[in-house]
Structure 1
Amino acid sequence: MARASRGRTTVLLVAIAALLTGCGADVPAGPFPPRPADIDTTSVDICAGLTPHQQAALGVEPGVPGTAELSEGPTRTCRWSSFDDGYNYSIQTLPVPAAVTVGSPDSTVQEISGYGVVQVPAHATSVPQCMTYVDTSDTVGIRTLTQATRPDKRDPTLIEEVCRRAEVFTSQVIENLRSAR
C-alpha cells in the first residue's frame, strides 16, 4: 500500500512541476517576446508618440490627431508630415492585437525596444511605405506607418530606407507612449 501512495505522490509532483513550468513568466505566448509592460492605447495621447525634439530632428510639422472607423471598431490616429525630406509618419490605435497581422504577405516578426512587432513593407514601386504593428497588449495594438511621399522618393530600392526609418520611428513611439502611462 505504501508503494502505491508513493507512486501517486510522484505522479502528482511531476504534474505540478509540468504545470508550473508551463506557466513561467519568461515563456512567450505566441510569436512575440514577453512585453516589458502593456501600453494602454485606449487612453494615451498618441500624438505624444513623438516629442517636440524628435519632431524637429525628423523635420516634421506638429502631429495632427484624427479618428477613423475600422471594421473592428473605432481608432485614433496622429500624423506628422515633412515637406522637406519627403517622409511622412503616423500612428494608429488598433482595436485588435498585433498578433492578428502575423503571417501577412511579406511580413516579418521582429523586436523593437523589447516589444514584438510585425513589419510589413508595401508599395515599393509607387509610394514606398513600411507598416509596423506593435504588440502593446493582449487585446489592442498600434500601427506605425512610415511613407516616402515625394516623386523622387518613389524608387523600389528605397523600401529598405523607409523600413529603417520605420524602425527608428517605432522605437521612439514605443518609448514615448510607454512613459506617457
Structure 2
Amino acid sequence: MNKRLQTIGLVLIVVLAGCSGAPAADGPDADNGTSIENDTAGATDVTQSLGITVDETTTGDELNEIGATYPRDEFVVDAAQHDEIEIGVDSDGDGTTERTFNETHISGVNNNAYSFDISLESGYTLQSGDVVTVEYPAIDNPSEPGEYTVELRLNDRQTANATAVIE
C-alpha cells in the first residue's frame, strides 16, 4: 500500500509540475519522473512506471510508441508479455489516467538487456501537456544504490530523461 501511495504521489507531482505555468525543460534534461515498485538494490522482476509529458515535438501525432533505455551494465530489462504492460494518458492534469491502452492495442514489445520499446495502435492523438505513462513489469535493479538516468522515448521523436533512485 505504501508503494502505491508513493506512486500516486509521484504521478501527481509530475502532473502538477507540468501544469505550473513555468516553461517546460528542454530536451534531454526534462525529468518526467519514475516510480519503482521495489527500489531495493538487486531486486528482480520489478515493475517500473515511467511518464513523459507531451511537448510540441509529438503534439498532434497518434500515440504509437513508447520506450526507455536504462544505463548499460546497471539495470537488466527482461521480456514482458503484452498483457503485463499498462499504458495510459492523463490528458487533463488531474493525476488520473483518462485513456488506457492494453494488449489489444499493443502490436509489439521489443527489449534487449537494457531497453524496451512498445509499439501500439492507439487511435489517440497526443495533445500538448498529456502525460503518457507506461508500466513495464520485468526490470532488475542495479546491485548498487544510487541515482540512475533513464532515457524515455515517445513516438521515436521526443526524448526526455528521468531519474531512477535505487536504495
- Structure 2 length normalisation: TM-score? 0.29
* Structure richer in strand, relative to its length: 2
Rg (Cα) greater in structure = 1
Q: TM-score, normalised by structure 1?
A: 0.28
